[in-house]
A = this chain, B = another copy of it.
Amino acid sequence: MNPPVNEVSSPPANPALKLRPAQPDDVPLILSLIRELAEYEKEPDAAIATEEDLLRCGFGPEPYFRCLIAEWNGQPAGFALYFFQFSTWEGKPALYLEDLFVRPQFRKQGIGRAFFTRLAQIALEKQCTRFQWEVLDWNQPAIDFYQALGAKVMRAWLNMRMIGPELNQLAGEK
A residues in contact (CB < 8 Å) with B: 8, 10-11, 13, 34, 37-38, 43, 46-50, 53-54, 57-58, 64-65, 81, 83-93, 96, 98-99, 116-117, 120-121, 123-124, 128-138, 143, 146, 149-174
**Which one of B93, B120, B123, B124 lies within 8 Å of A57 (CB-CB)?**
B93
Shortest C-beta distance, A27 to chain B (Å), equals 11
User: How far does the Cβ of A94 sit from chain B's closest Cβ, in whole Å?
Assistant: 9
Copies of the protein in its oligomer: 2
- CA separation between A43 and B156, bound complex, in Å? 16
B162 x A117 contact (CB < 8 A): no
Known A-B contacts A49-B88, A93-B57, A158-B143; A171 and B120 likewise in contact (beta carbons under 8 Å): yes
Shortest Cβ gap from A54 to chain B (Å):
6
Closest to A169 in B: B150
Report the separation of the CA atoms of residues A151 and B163 in the bound assembly, to the nearest whole angstrom: 7
* C-alpha spacing A173/B153, complex, angstroms: 22
With A and B bound together, what is the CA distance between A102 and B64 in angstroms? 28
